[in-house]
Amino acid sequence: MKTRIFHLGDYRRATVGEGVEVPQDYFFPNASPASVMLRQKILKKCREDIYSWLNHENGQVAIYDAVNPTASGRRSLAKEFAKHDVQVRAARYLERSVLCF
65: closest CA among 41, 100, 30, 35?
100
Rounded Cα distance, 65 and 46, in Å: 10
pLDDT digits (tens, 9 = 90+) for 29-79: 899 999 999 999 999 999 999 999 999 998 998 988 887 767 787 888 888
Amino acid 88: pLDDT:
84
Residue with the larger pLDDT of the pair 97 and 11: 11
pLDDT digits (tens, 9 = 90+) for 80-90: 888 988 888 87
Query: Considering the entire predicted model, what is its pTM?
Result: 0.83
Rounded Cα distance, 58 and 3, in Å: 10
* Domains of the chain, earliest start first: 3-100 (3.40.50.300)
Tell which phi-psi region holds residue 72, choosing left (phi > 0), alpha (psi between -120 and 50) or beta.
Answer: alpha
Amino acid 77: pLDDT:
84
